[in-house]
């Protein structure tokens, strides 16, 4: 599962790099709307809430409250559709935090090469997720900045492409070198 998740996360970063590369003044309105999209946001938030509920099950072993975790994820995803603004940005930030933690934890469990470099990359991604969750309008501002400034767009495309190469390379490496 870990090698596959690394490759999928790398593909996500590669598609994000392509999305950022195609962002310009002519399509900025559609990019800005993405951060506030309720349908995509509800789906992303639901995935993040289910992931959190699975972690919560480990915290409360044998407790009667455990049966409410998954239904609560359904309820809170439904409620967030009506109550939260910038839902897609918040859901994306939550998934970035969860994925950064998952990949960082497993990189040590699977004895990854260049762990300090990978740890810093996961730290950067998780921190960006925290900022996006805390101030979701930053995603909209990010799209505006890369649409208006070509050098910023190139820098972010290079970073996202580099992250994609790292994650895909780690996924391929761990596919052929599982832990002993």
Give pLDDT tens digits for 132-174: 999 999 999 999 999 999 999 999 999 999 999 999 999 999 8
60: left (phi over 0), alpha (psi -120 to 50) or beta: beta
d(CA 162, CA 176): 21
Spans in the chain with pLDDT lower than 70: none
Residue owning tokens 């996202």: 160
pLDDT at 155: 95
Q: Per the structure block, which two tokens stand in for 114?
A: 């260049």
Contacts of 44 (CB under 8 A, 6+ apart): 87, 88, 91, 92, 94, 95
pLDDT at 116: 86
Q: Per the structure block, which two tokens stand in for 51?
A: 């992931």
Q: Per the structure block, which two tokens stand in for 22?
A: 């195609």
Residue owning tokens 């409360």: 60
Sign of CA dihedral 15, 21, 25, 26: negative
d(CA 127, CA 105): 16
Q: What is the pTM of this model?
A: 0.86
pLDDT at 67: 80
pLDDT at 2: 85
pLDDT at 111: 79
d(CA 130, CA 126): 6
| Helix (H/G/I), strand (E/B), else coil: 145 | helix
For 69-88, b where at least 16 C-beta lie within 10 A, e where not — what string?
A: beeebeebbeebeeebebbb
């Amino acid at each position: 599962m870990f090698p596959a998740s690394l490759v999928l996360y790398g593909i996500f970063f590669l598609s994000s790099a392509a999305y950022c590369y195609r962002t310009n003044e002519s399509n900025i309105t559609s990019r800005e709307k993405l951060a506030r999209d309720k349908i995509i946001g509800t789906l992303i938030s639901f995935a993040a809430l289910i992931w959190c509920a699975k972690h919560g099950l480990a915290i409360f072993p044998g407790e009667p409250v455990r049966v409410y975790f998954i239904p609560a994820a359904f309820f809170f995803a439904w409620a967030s559709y009506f109550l939260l603004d910038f839902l897609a940005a918040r859901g994306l930030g939550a998934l970035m935090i969860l994925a950064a933690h998952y990949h960082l934890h497993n990189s040590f469990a699977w004895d990854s090469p260049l762990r300090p470099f990978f740890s810093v990359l996961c730290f950067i991604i998780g921190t960006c997720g925290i900022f996006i969750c805390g101030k979701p309008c930053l995603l909209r501002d990010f799209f505006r900045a890369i649409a208006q400034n070509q050098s910023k767009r190139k820098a972010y495309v290079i970073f996202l492409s580099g992250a994609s190469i790292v994650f895909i390379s780690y996924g391929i490496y761990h596919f052929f070198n599982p832990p002993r």
